[in-house]
Amino acid sequence: MDATFWVTISFFIFLGILIYFKIPRKIKEILEQNILNIKNEINEAEKLKEDAKNILAEHEKKISNSKNEVKKMIDKASDEAEKNVIRVNKDFHNLMENKKKNVEQRIGQLKIQAEKDIKNASVKIALESVEKLIKNSLDKSKLDKIYSSSIEETKLALKKKSS
């Protein structure tokens, strides 16, 4: 009986003790429990990954919606700015048109007043001329000269008034 024999017998006794105390089954259960834990962790990691993908998609959608809202706001602001420019331009043109009408009315009034002044001046000059004629009651040639000079005086007076 050599050492190999005793090693073999020790080995079988060791195996018997292991089987008697159900060590292989316990090792198998521990390994199965570890495998089950690893599978659960993998499943949980996959769920977390899926949740992360969903959250990412949701945030990308929110970003896209935000971009669309910003674009709409910019478009709306541009439209309002254009409308304001058009409105201000229209108001300006209306104001200028009203001022033009007022100026034209004032010019018309001034023209009418100038015509009245010219008529009054010409009547006054004519009366003065007639008065001179009557005072000087002269002959025909002198009357013609006075008449011509009165007309010239009237023309000069009218030119002075119109200037």
Quick: pLDDT tens for 101-157: 999 999 999 999 988 888 888 888 888 877 776 666 656 676 677 778 888 887 787
pLDDT at 92 over 80: yes
The CA distance from 37 to 29, in Å, is: 12
Q: Distance between CA 15 and CA 17 in Å, rounded?
A: 5
**Cα gap 163→161, rounded to integer Å:** 5
- The pTM is what? 0.41
97 falls in which pLDDT band (50, 70, 90)? very high
Do 111 and 161 meet the contact criterion of CB atoms below 8 Å apart? no
Q: How confident is the model at residue 162 (pLDDT cuts 50, 70, 90)?
A: low
